[in-house]
Structure 1
Amino acid sequence: MDVLLAQLSKIFTIEILDIGGVKFSIATIISLVISIILAFFISKVVSEIIQHSILERLKLNRGLQAAVTVFIKYFLITISSIIILQTAGVNLSSLAVIAGVIGIGIGFGLQNIASNFISGLVLLFEQTIKVGDYIEIGNLKGVIEKIAIRSTILRTDDDLFVIVPNQRFLENDTVNWSYGGHTCRIHIPIGVSYDTDVLVLTEALLTAARNEPRVLTNPAPEVWFDKFGEHSLNFELLVWIDEPDANEPIRSSLNFRIAYELRQQNIKIPYPTREIIFQNPEAIQQLINQKSYQYNLATPNPSTTFSPESSPITKNTNYVNNRSLHDLLRRVSYFERCTEVELFALVARGYRKHFRENEIIFHEEAPSENFFIILSGSVEVFSEKNNQVIATLGEGEFFGEISLLTGTPRTATVRSLAADTLLFVVEKQQLQKLLNEHRELGEQIAIKLSERQQILISLGLLNEEELQKAQYVALSWVRDRLNNLFGISLGRG
């Protein structure tokens, strides 16, 4: 046994390798490898401790934390490896020469690995793609979970983890939905039949977008007329979202909502059509007549015929019972002379909203976010603190402009009076576009605004200081204020 141990000791201690004048035995080589492996794991543990104990407390984003952690890990591995080799007496300059000679021989076989390695360093330095970003590369979409030196881990929408070589990100076009912020726009294509009223379609699409809670109101949704297709009019609904990684679920939800709105408005999605030309129509007609005669003989009650009224398929009466938004806007004096194109732009700037009888539209002192035009029904404007009615407004009139245009809280409470009051609502960010497109509306708002300031003064709703300021609120002053706020030219030739 002692002889065997002596032989094994001799085998492990015999010098088998000479590097730069330093001789290595098998035992020395094993100890060096074990030391480097330990250094690798220690470096990894230290870098993770730094990430969790320091970087996360600094509240850095996931991408920057991952990049710093990778740099620390590989820096520690490099330094510890150099120290281990120098401690063993290895001349690093001679080792570099040997590595260069070996690299020439195997370099061609490691081109992809070297390319991915360099690409990984570029990604970590440039930070154009970071951990936590939602990206799209080729047919892959997902969130980046980890960026390593050779490859990147991508978690797809199906919760699958895909290992992507870093070189692909530099060689291919990569869409980073999270770069520069988390707001992005998605397109929903839709094709409808040629007999569709485009204004009704626009309202339906915008209603679907506004009913989706994950769609942003600012920037507002838009409808674009794409082209005249072979079988359909092609439109696009454009909406903005701040959850890029949820764009597919949001797109699906919007499609459901669009399908519902199209059904409510009786808007048809056309089937592809084909034209058939008969070479001998007389013979075909004779064949049809013969088949019809045979069918009538075989029918027990030949007087029974099919009619649309007897069909079990019921028509959608919602479109008939509810007038379209552009028809309702036509009844408002400010818009009765608008062209179809102008009405299309108007529908795109706002939406209609129903209120029940005695339903509060907004309260006094509430922030001002909307401007309202009464399409049908009536509303009552009153002061809650004075328990006094200020005005009753009916079809074609508007309200909510005072606080919206002056940037102050609501000066009164408004509630609906009719059982089904219908309002056209324009949000704050869309008012400027609306006034630029309809100068006559801006002029009417200026007149009404100056009149209502006088009503508030006469009711004693403004104190003495506010009263002195309000004395200067004339029509010309209101026009100038609208011109400055919205860049329009009211009262100017």
Structure 2
Amino acid sequence: MNWIFIEIKNIFSLLVQIFKTELFELGNQSFSIKNITEIISLIVLVVFFSRTIKKWLKEWILVNLGIKKGTKEAIAAIINYIITIAGILIVLHNTGIDLTSITVIAGALSIGIGIGMKNIISNFVSGLTILIAQPIKIGDFIEVDDLSGIVEKTSIRSTVIKTIDGIFVIIPNNFIVEKNIINWSHKDSTSRIHIPIGVAYGSNTALVKKALLDAAIKEKKVLSIPSPKVWFKGFGDSALNFELLVWIKYPHLIDEIRSYLNFSIDLELRSRNISIPFPQRDLHIRQINDLIQTHQKAESTTSGKNQKKLSNSLVKNIAKTKQNPSKLNLRDLLRQISYFQNCNNIELRDVIENGYRKIVPRGEIICLEGEPGDSFYIILSGSVEVFSAKANKYITTRYAGEFIGEMSLILGIARTASLRATEDTILFVVDRENLHNLLAKHQRLADKISEELSRRLETLKNLGLLDNQENSQETAMIWIRNRIYTLFGI
């Protein structure tokens, strides 16, 4: 056994000798694998220490000083680079490296390095410029060429932008410095939107102005100060040209706000019988009398047959529509529900944007007992059976206008029963995130759901969500409503 220990000792001695063997000299200092390992280890510690300081500055010191997010990121990044560079120089100096010799070597290689790393050095200098001068900061909404988005991160080499479509784009810093940048958030994020609109000749211009201003006032994201303005731009070929100008606080929502305003403008103009024209051309026919006589003769021979066919076709289409709710549009289906009957077109538009129509054939399972609740349903037509698959027990049947699937979604529990369509059924489906948006805008709908849930006292008690002494439906409704308000921030 002694020879084994001798061999191990010899191998260990050989390794130590290899580690201590001189590899090269730099200035007056010789270097071995051991020296290089020590230097790399110390540099890694310096980098770790500098990043820890950067994180500590961002999350504690600079936050308590009330510094803005973009400025905070820039200060922390600059301090991180200073500590890293200073730490590396100190490590090299303490290991005996003559920094002047490194300077000489670096000077000799600077020409070749400068040519080969031109883009990297350019991005590095541009990154320092962005961090110090701060033409853009973290959280700014910027536009570079055809690219627009929110600045997520700025480093020495590149800047990361998150577009309004949720795509992360990495842009070299020199590209940002060299291009013309629109920074919507610089100093003041208040921005103005221009919405052109044309109305038919003969329209009351004062009424048009009132309609456009009313549409702007109804949009909550439009600022009241500065107030919305309407400009009469001039007389077009087919329309009187106006422009609505509104101010907003959040430039990254420009497309969303513009869409809401377009819907509102359309509604306001329709309510005042103001038409939006389309390009028209006048056609002049010289021998108009001959054409009229020819048309009347042809019409007299076929009018009877065509009218009869048209009448029968209309009757069939109307009957078919009445018998088949799937042919109705979603807005008309929602209007058949008692809660939505008094909603105007804008409110219905908000509802439709947060859900979708789903046609469920007869006998199809909608969801199963024990599954996580991820959707809320409103029955638009048809009927749905509620049953317990585990207990093999029928519970109840829900019909058009009733809510289903809301209990597990709102109370945060698994599905307490299974749902199955007893006939061809149309559902309006809202998932968890969109339900949050819907209830935040429609508090009355939250109250309606609370009222519906409070009727199921026994179910709530069996789940342990209500005390057995709480027999009042009013008490249950208050408890459920408060829970919904808290959960959805209403």
State the TM-score bracket (shorter-chain normalisation): 0.5 to 0.7
Map 1:315-394; keep pairs closer than 5 Å. Answer: none
How far the C-alpha of 1:194 sits from its partner, in A, is: 2.9
How far the C-alpha of 1:274 sits from its partner, in A, is: 4.8
Higher relative contact order (CA 8 A, sep 6+): 1
In the alignment, structure 1 residue 66 sits paired with structure 2 residue 69:
no
Letter of the 1:153 partner, please give it: V
How far the C-alpha of 1:59 sits from its partner, in A, is: 0.7
Letter of the 2:228 partner, please give it: P
Give the alignment partner of residue 11 of structure 1, picking from 15, 18, 37.
Answer: 18
Question: Counterpart in 1 of 2:274?
Answer: 267
**Aligned partners of 2:169, 2:192: CA distance in 1, in Å?**
26
Give the alignment partner of residue 40 of structure 1, picking from 25, 42, 47.
Answer: 47
In the alignment, structure 1 residue 143 sits paired with structure 2 residue 150:
yes
Secondary structure at the aligned position of 1:163 is classed as strand
Give the alignment partner of residue 218 of structure 1, picking from 221, 225, 243.
Answer: 225
Structure 1: gaps (5+ residues): 305-493
Label 1:25 to 1:274 Cα distance change in 2 as closer, same or farther (>3 A).
farther
**Aligned partners of 1:15, 1:231: CA distance in 2, in Å?**
89
Letter of the 1:114 partner, please give it: I
Secondary structure at the aligned position of 1:261 is classed as helix
Letter of the 1:236 partner, please give it: E
In the alignment, structure 1 residue 199 sits paired with structure 2 residue 200:
no
Map 1:60-459; keep pairs closer than 5 Å. Answer: 60-274=67-281, 288-289=295-296, 291-296=298-303, 298-299=305-306
CA contact (8 A) 1:296 1:302 kept: no
**Aligned partners of 1:41, 1:121: CA distance in 2, in Å?**
21
Q: TM-score, normalised by structure 1?
A: 0.56
Secondary structure at the aligned position of 2:188 is classed as coil
Letter of the 1:92 partner, please give it: L
Secondary structure at the aligned position of 1:178 is classed as coil
Secondary structure at the aligned position of 2:279 is classed as coil
How far the C-alpha of 1:170 sits from its partner, in A, is: 1.5
> For each residue in 1:271-295, what CA deviation from the matched residue of structure 2 results, as whole angstroms up to 9, or x when unmatched?
2335667799799767645642442
**Aligned partners of 1:280, 1:13: CA distance in 2, in Å?**
111
Label 1:86 to 1:260 Cα distance change in 2 as closer, same or farther (>3 A).
same
Instruction: Considering fraction of residues, name the structure with more helix.
Output: 2
Question: Counterpart in 2 of 1:315?
Answer: none
Secondary structure at the aligned position of 2:67 is classed as coil
* Root-mean-square deviation over aligned CA pairs: 2.8
Report the more deviating stretch, 268-277 or 239-248. 268-277
Structure 2: gaps (5+ residues): 1-7, 312-490
CA contact (8 A) 1:133 1:143 kept: yes
**Aligned partners of 1:3, 1:29: CA distance in 2, in Å?**
24
Question: Counterpart in 2 of 1:54?
Answer: 61
Secondary structure at the aligned position of 2:64 is classed as coil
**Aligned partners of 1:176, 1:221: CA distance in 2, in Å?**
23
> For each residue in 1:218-252, what CA deviation from the matched residue of structure 2 results, as whole angstroms up to 9, or x when unmatched?
21111122343343333221111223333332222
CA contact (8 A) 1:133 1:179 kept: yes
Question: Counterpart in 1 of 2:29?
Answer: 22
Label 1:109 to 1:301 Cα distance change in 2 as closer, same or farther (>3 A).
same
**Aligned partners of 2:310, 2:116: CA distance in 1, in Å?**
86
